[in-house]
Structure 1
Amino acid sequence: MAAGTLYTYPENWRAFKAQIAAQYSGARLKIASNPPAFTFGQTNRSPAFLNNFPLGKVPAYQGDDGFCLFESSAIAHYLSNDALRGSTPQAAAQVLQWVSFADSEIIPPASAWVFPTLGIMQFNKQATEQAKEELKRVLAVLNQHLNTRTFLVGERIGLADITVACSLLWLYKQVLEPSFRQPYPNVTRWFVTCVNQPQFKAVLGEVKLCEKMAQFDAKKFAEMQPKKEAPAKKEKVSKEGGKQQQQPQQQEKKEKKKEDKKPAPAEEEMDECEAALAAEPKTKDPFAHLPKSSFVLDEFKRKYSNEDTLTVALPYFCDNFDREGFSIWYAEYRFPEELTMAFMSCNLITGMFQRLDKLRKNAFASVILFGANNDSCISGIWVFRGQELAFPLSDDWQIDYESYTWRKLDVDSEECKTMVKEYFAWEGEFKHVGKPFNQGKIFK
């Protein structure tokens, strides 16, 4: 029987899979999610942790015998027993099918819809609407499958049920209000059955289904961004060279202001990406040497996120783009033969964007995965401040960019205009690609 420690941060739904599996199998699992046992952003960046888990991601499992695993589905599989994994080769394959289904079909649209409501991501109207449509398709598939079944595989709860239920957890808690879930009664019946099992409750507690669809909270999102330290005020110096003394009245006013000032609200708990970014040391702005541009990138991003792309955002971009202050580049992934499952390729794109978070003020990108499993390619359009590739300006930005070929586009060419329109809108002929459109990713 497995015995070991699961490193994670509190309320990590990916870790829930392993914890619930351990409840069913009887595996002895210790949870390290709070100081001093585990501090996210510190413990997982230590040399000792990275020696066992090179990516520094959680959940991560270390057995009492020294056996180490990362990736939540692998950990949940290891902590399961044969009854959960599938007792026959056919059942085991079906379990794997639904685990993959959760990772590739549920998680990407669920994240795009739910994360903005939690303040983790900026709201993108187009991405949210697309996510809703994708989830309707996913829920319809599940609803049909469960029409004659109590559980996904076999007659008892298994790892398939645990994984898919955990993937749907935040959807049911945040956005799947009664009117949205009404067409999928079999899914809701199955989900409620799962989360009310003692083994689920021991990990999740009481799960209350959403009554009203949560919306993006701009204030909450702003509060969760890494805080910038205000520059220290310089002391005034008199002609004689000594520090200038404040007048009594000025001092009195300052003290009164300090008394009146309300304490700052406590910071919301950040997700893993934001916490890691906040812990990074401050660096000099690599774009500080460039003159001020007339093109306000943030204003374009607001229009792109909240208004129609073709009728509002794209015309704004074309009318206001500063060809002297910005450049447009086409990027294509160098190693398409290495791309396998679509969800893994999407994670490849998302991982690059997460590592480039500090570039977002001076860049915008729309990157798309084309094709299908084991036959796909990645390409996209990038907009950078300045006329050169931005990545060499900082060591922190150079991890992924050499995996792509980069070509600067002539902003006046028909090629550039067509590609900008197609990649920004996620629709078009994409004649240069030769594979069907699959899924888009936006770096804002």
Structure 2
Amino acid sequence: MTLIIHSVKQSKNVYKALIAAEYVGVEIKVVDDFEMGVSNKTPEFLKMNPIGKVPVLETPDGPIFESNAIARYVARGSFLFGSSPIEYGQIEQWIDFSAFEFDLNIRGWYIPRLGYGNYIKPVEENCISGLKRGLDALNKYLASHTFLVGDGITLADIITTCNMFMAFKLLTPKSFTSRVGEFKQTEAVIPLSSAKKTEAKPKPEPKKEVKKKEALKPEVKAAEEEEAPKPKPKNPLDLLPPSKMVLDDWKRLYSNTKSNFREVAIKGFWDMFDPEGYSLWFCDYKYNDENTVSFVTMNKVGGFLQRMDLARKYAFTHHIL
């Protein structure tokens, strides 16, 4: 049976249950057209949660409210709760840690800034201080651990990440981003595949109809049967007028010059350079404060080059890290 969540869809508290459901193969649907201040004030909703807070999970055995309780219900009995009593205790430990050190302080920081509460500077400073303390502790722990508990994803990782969602979305001063190096390293961890996808049953193949034997037909040449290959999409850069500079000559000179680089390669470049056919550009990466982990930074460079494949024949670039 599909479980139903009553809440707005774009909410980190809803994401906790949805992500857990993807890992364990539970079907969850978020109700459509949910409107805060209206849908959560109806008699039907107040029967599920008397104080009208979201999210609420509707199950065959009754409703559950509070986001962490909902995520626990979805993940019950699965690997997301660990494989031993000590792992279970540590998972609960990190869930509480992220609730009090992250979620509480992040909400105390951004809710008044959005105009939904009274702004009191000492309270904000206390929230920022508490968040930094929690980040420093988590960063230190993640320097020697890939996951919060054990050797794989657990509910602790899911809930902690969701509790940090609004901080990454709304709070971006350097005093914050400079403290999340090890935490952001988790971007490079390969995610597990969805249990829903792995458990999907193959569609039954339709029964093949038995055709009556037909009289033999004369063979048709294979060349006539095969479709003509589709033309490759054109590279718009191929339409540029030809240049006097042969870029491949420069690339070979650059690669093969092992000594006196400035005198040989650089001089050779200026001798070849055609200002009517090419231009020179200097680009600075906007978010260098995020480049704290070397292999993550290298992955970004590799991804950039993969997306520039059409320009490979017409461009030369040198990246400096």
The answer, yes or no, to whether TM exceeds 0.5 is yes
Q: CA separation in 2, counterparts of 1:161 and 1:103?
A: 12
Provide runs of 4+ in structure 1 moved above 6 Å.
194-199
Give, in angstroms, the shift of residue 180 of structure 1.
3.1
- Whole-angstrom distance in 2 between the partners of 1:194 and 1:14: 23
1:342-378 deviations in Å (ceiling 9; x for gaps): xxxxxxxxxxxxxxxxxxxxxxxxxxxxxxxxxxxxx
What is the rounded CA distance, in whole Å, between the counterparts of 1:30 and 1:10 in structure 2? 10
- The match for 1:87 is 83
> Structure 1: how far apart are the matches of 2:35 and 2:104?
27
Please list the CA deviations of residues 282-308 of structure 1 after superposition, one character each: whole Å capped at 9, or x if unmatched.
xxxxxxxxxxxxxxxxxxxxxxxxxxx
**Following superposition of structure 1 onto structure 2, how do residues 7-46 of structure 1 map, counting pairs within 5 Å?**
7-32=6-31, 34-35=32-33, 38-46=34-42
> Is the 1:181–1:188 Cα contact (8 Å) retained in structure 2?
no
RMSD: 2.8
Which amino acid counterpart does residue 22 of structure 2 have in structure 1?
A: Q
> What is the CA distance between 1:84 and its match in structure 2?
0.6
AA aligned opposite 1:75: I
Check conservation: 1:161, 1:194, Cα contact below 8 A.
Answer: no
Partner of 2:65: 70
Distance 1:194 1:117, change over 3 A: farther
Kindly report which structure 2 residues correspond to 1:310-325, keeping only aligned pairs within 5 A, or say none: none
Instruction: Identify the residue that residue 125 of structure 1 maps to in structure 2.
Output: 121
> Hey, what's the Cα distance between the residues in 1 that align with 2:73 and 2:190?
21
Deviations 1:257-316 (Å, cap 9, x if unpaired)?
xxxxxxxxxxxxxxxxxxxxxxxxxxxxxxxxxxxxxxxxxxxxxxxxxxxxxxxxxxxx
Amino acid at match of 2:20: A
Residue 170 in structure 1 maps to residue 169 in structure 2: no
What SS does structure 1 have at the residue aligned with 2:54? coil
Matched positions, count: 198
Distance verdict in 2 for CA 1:18–1:138, change over 3 Å:
same
Name the CA distance, whole Å, in 2 between partners of 1:117 and 1:189. 28
How far residue 196 of structure 1 moved from its aligned partner, in angstroms, is 7.1
Q: Which residue of 2 aligns with 1:59?
A: 55
Higher RCO, Cα 8 Å, sep 6+: 2
State the distance in 2 between where 1:196 and 1:174 align: 25
Shift in alpha-carbon separation, 1:157–1:113, aligned structure 2, 3 A = same
Does residue 156 of structure 2 align to residue 160 of structure 1? yes
Q: Secondary structure at the match of 2:86?
A: helix
Checking the alignment, whether the CA contact within 8 Å between 2:132 and 2:179 is kept in structure 1 is no
Question: How do 1:150-229 residues align onto structure 2 when only pairs under 5 Å count?
Answer: 150-178=146-174, 180-190=176-186, 192-193=187-188
Unaligned residue ranges in structure 1 (runs of 5+): 200-209, 212-444
Which TM-score applies when normalising by structure 1?
0.41
Specify whether residues 193 and 97 from structure 1 end up closer, same or farther in structure 2 by C-alpha distance, changes over 3 A only: farther
**Aligned runs of 1:219-298 on 2, under 5 Å?**
none
Write the distance in 2 (CA, Å) between the matches of 1:195 and 1:119.
38
Shift of 1:124: 2.5
Give the residue type in structure 1 aligned to 2:66: E
Identity of aligned residues (%): 32
Contact 2:105 2:128 in 1 (8 A): yes
Secondary structure at 1:133 match in 2: helix
- The structure that has the greater radius of gyration is 2
Q: Which amino acid aligns with 1:131?
A: C
